[in-house]
Amino acid sequence: MTDVPWWLIWTILILALIIVLVVCAVRLVKGFIRVVVSFTDLLEKSAILDGVEATRELDRPLVAVLDDLAVIREKYDLRMTRRANKKRSRAEARLVRAKMITTVDVTQRKWPHAW
């Protein structure tokens, strides 16, 4: 059996190491490029959102803790009043519809002549 020269073993190991390093480097570069592309997409979207937010007027302050208690109570009462009014109007509309469905005026109805 012949002995394999030591320089051949080291050459194969070094070539394998270089191949592994090149593959890892290529994967890292591709990942970095993907991250950069995603980041630029995010920057474009955030720029659009910044433009929208700058033109929009906020209904309420960003920090409600800094508002006066009377102002908060007034906004809460106004919201609850609007909610109650909506609820009442929906209930009235349901009652009107239910009455319309359940009561049939025979004189207003067109009956077939065969009956």
Mean pLDDT of residues grouped by 10 in the chain (115 residues)?
82 96 97 94 80 58 71 91 96 88 68 65
20 and 36 in a single domain? The answer is yes
Does residue 1 sit within a domain? no
Does residue 113 sit within a domain? no
- pLDDT given for residue 58 in this prediction: 57
27 and 38 in a single domain? The answer is yes
- pLDDT given for residue 61 in this prediction: 53
44 and 67 in a single domain? The answer is no
This prediction's pTM: 0.38
33 and 69 in a single domain? The answer is no
12 and 49 in a single domain? The answer is yes
14 and 43 in a single domain? The answer is yes
- pLDDT given for residue 67 in this prediction: 75
Separation of alpha carbons 21 and 48, rounded Å: 41
Separation of alpha carbons 110 and 65, rounded Å: 65
Which domain covers residue 15, as residue numbers? 8-57
Alpha-carbon torsion angle 20, 22, 23, 29, nearest 10? 140
